[in-house]
């Protein structure tokens, strides 16, 4: 981008996204900016700003961001979210100028801030300066990329040179691709084979005793001429004193100054095997240590649940017993997940069907009056999301067992977990006493259901209550979110 590009760009009508939670102030600022030739889109909330920027058809050139956006995330937090995926200049607006405001904007790629009521002239000048700074930044990044690209090319050439002549554990042989004569050889190969450089240069590869099988060497050379590549994993060579050396032999054809040359990399397999064996031993040791750590962690979970059980047994308070038992169920759900990871040697993903069955069976094992119907599909989810889903199941089932079937009346719980398009659907329903039509238990202030709401929101999911023939709660979680969080 040159100076002429900047002038033309400044003459184009710019699109500004104004993020201001005060509707009246926003309308006034929008009108003033419009009078100064800008196109202005005004939104009241930070989430609306994120959606506007993420839109496929977004044509926003600059964001005017109010730092104080009321009850939701402040402007600096919204700016961080936007700047994760977008390179767009942000100019902050603030009703005051103090150290606290400055500190909030530190660490964020912004183009300064303007104190509200500074006037449209100051705001316009700040916007134009932000555009100039951003254009200069873009141009600088482009130049930086070009410089880095050229630098990387030079580094590659230097690396190849070092690989050819300075690699301590590789022998390098350079051949003329037309006649097969040796034009260069590195010191390591000279040491490996025991020949002097003069004994090797200007001779055809099949004339050297190390490659004494002439037919074999000519076949190798012909393969290189025809395909430009040859590789032998365990090629036997003979040194000047008659010793056998097994090497990995890899050859490629290159163009150097317009001439075709063959580069042969020759590596002692024994050295590689020693390194591989050493690495394998290190890995085995680390795996052993990891398994020991897993074993201790599993024992720690068992100790925690045992201590909670002992406290529950020792307590005379019904409420205390109930709280401790609920806590034990929550800890057990995490313990079940850890046991599953330990048993399957998987640390990243979990089969939700296996884990959910463990959690459900643990929850209802002492509820003899309850029949459980399960329909759970085999869905793989990240381990940390499985933990959240397990906690959701614990809270929902605990709520059903406590309230749906009073006085130990018989009942049925229907649990469904399946994939629906791009979502995971989790449904927990019962045929118990239910709640009133106008009662929304999802808004209850009990800890369990409050946790469910928080965890569903954490996974960007949705939750729905159905009060018919008992109670059913349906939760939907987006699969793409599960794979990213």
| 254 located within any domain | yes
pLDDT on residue 154: 72
Query: Which position has the token pair 């709520």?
Result: 399
Measured CA distances, 284 to 279, 281, 288, 297, 298 (Å): 9, 5, 6, 20, 21
Structural domain includes residue 361: yes
CATH number, residue 368: 3.30.565.10
178 and 229 assigned to the same domain? yes
CA distances from 358 to 58, 353, 354, 371 (A): 47, 9, 6, 16
Same domain, 133 and 173: no
Distance between CA 275 and CA 228 in Å, rounded?
30
Give the torsion sign (CA, 185, 189, 193, 196). positive
The stretch 108-122 carries a mean pLDDT of 81
Residue 347 has pLDDT above 80, yes or no: no
Question: Does residue 241 carry a pLDDT above 90?
Answer: no
In a domain, 297, yes or no: no
**133 and 229 together in one domain:** no
The whole domain housing 253 covers 167-270
pLDDT score, position 335: 67
Shared domain check, 193 and 94: no
**CATH label of the domain that carries residue 75:** 3.40.50.2300
Mean pLDDT over 457-465 rounds to 88
List phi, psi (to 5°) of 61: -100, -30
| DSSP structure string for 33-76 | HHHTT-EEEEESSHHHHHHHHHSTT----EEEEES--TTS--HH
Residue 154 lies inside a defined structural domain of this protein: no
Q: 185 and 136 in one domain?
A: no
Task: Please report which confidence band the pLDDT of residue 297 belongs to, taking 50, 70 and 90 as the band edges.
Answer: low
Distance (Å, whole) CA 297 – CA 320: 27
Q: pLDDT tens-digit profile of 46-95? A: 888 888 888 867 788 999 988 888 777 788 888 888 888 888 898 888 88
Question: Strand, coil or helix: what is 165?
Answer: helix
Q: Is residue 442 part of a domain?
A: yes
Q: What is the Cα–Cα distance from 466 to 454, expressed in whole angstroms?
A: 19
Give the CATH number of the domain where residue 263 resides. Answer: 3.30.450.20
> What tens digit of pLDDT does each residue of 171-221 get?
888 888 888 888 888 888 888 888 888 888 888 777 776 666 656 666 777
Same domain, 134 and 179: no
Q: Calculate the alpha carbon distances from 133 to 6, 63, 127, 276 in Å.
A: 11, 14, 10, 52
Instruction: Grade residue 403 by pLDDT with cuts at 50, 70 and 90.
Output: confident
Residues 366, 474, single domain; the answer is yes
Is residue 129 domain-resident?
yes
Between these two residues, 215 and 109, which has the higher pLDDT value?
109
Residue-wise pLDDT tens digits, 134-158: 888 888 988 988 888 888 887 777 6
Total count of domains within the chain: 3
Q: Which residues pair with 372 in a beta bridge?
A: 413
233 & 138 share domain: no
């Amino acid at each position: 981008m040159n100076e002429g590009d900047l002038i033309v760009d400044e003459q184009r009508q710019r699109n500004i996204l104004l993020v201001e939670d005060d509707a009246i102030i926003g309308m006034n600022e929008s009108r003033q900016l419009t009078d100064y030739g800008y196109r202005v889109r005004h939104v009241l909330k930070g989430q609306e700003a994120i959606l506007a920027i993420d839109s496929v058809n977004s044509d926003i050139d600059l964001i005017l961001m109010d730092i104080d956006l009321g009850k939701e995330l402040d402007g600096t937090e919204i700016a961080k979210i936007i700047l994760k995926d977008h390179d767009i200049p942000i100019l902050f607006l603030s009703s005051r100028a103090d150290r606290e405001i400055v500190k909030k904007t530190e660490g964020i790629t912004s183009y300064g801030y303007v104190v509200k009521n500074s006037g449209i002239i100051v705001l316009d000048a700040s916007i134009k300066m932000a555009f100039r700074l951003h254009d200069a930044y873009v141009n600088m990044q482009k130049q930086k990329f070009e410089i880095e690209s050229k630098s990387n090319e030079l580094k590659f050439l230097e690396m190849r040179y070092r690989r050819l002549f300075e690699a301590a554990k590789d022998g390098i042989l350079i051949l003329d691709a037309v006649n097969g004569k040796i034009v260069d050889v590195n010191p390591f190969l000279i040491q490996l084979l025991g020949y002097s450089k003069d004994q090797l240069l200007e001779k055809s590869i099949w004339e050297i005793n190390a490659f004494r099988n002439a037919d074999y060497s000519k076949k190798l050379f012909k393969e290189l001429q025809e395909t430009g590549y040859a590789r032998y994993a365990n090629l036997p060579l003979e040194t000047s004193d008659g010793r056998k050396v097994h090497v990995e032999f890899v050859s490629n054809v290159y163009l150097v100054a317009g001439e075709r040359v063959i580069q042969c990399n020759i590596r002692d397999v024994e050295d590689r095997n020693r390194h591989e064996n050493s690495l394998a031993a290190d890995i085995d040791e680390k795996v052993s240590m990891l398994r020991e750590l897993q074993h201790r962690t599993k024992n720690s979970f068992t100790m925690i649940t045992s201590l909670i059980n002992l406290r529950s047994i020792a307590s005379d308070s019904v409420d205390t017993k109930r709280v401790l038992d609920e806590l034990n169920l929550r800890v057990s759900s995490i313990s079940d997940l850890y046991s599953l990871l330990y048993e399957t040697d998987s640390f990243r993903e979990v089969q939700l069907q296996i884990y959910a069955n463990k959690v459900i069976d643990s929850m209802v094992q002492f509820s003899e009056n309850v029949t459980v119907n399960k329909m759970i599909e085999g869905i793989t989810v990240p381990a940390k999301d499985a933990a959240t889903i397990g906690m959701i199941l614990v809270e929902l089932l605990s709520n059903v067992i406590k309230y749906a079937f009073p006085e130990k009346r018989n009942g049925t719980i229907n649990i469904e977990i399946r994939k629906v398009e791009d979502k995971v659907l989790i449904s927990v329903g019962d045929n118990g006493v239910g709640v009133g039509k106008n009662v929304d238990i999802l808004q209850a202030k009990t800890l369990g259901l409050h946790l469910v709401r928080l965890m569903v929101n954490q996974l960007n999911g949705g939750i729905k209550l159905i009060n018919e023939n008992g109670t059913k709660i349906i939760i939907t979680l987006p699969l793409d979110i599960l794979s990213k969080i």
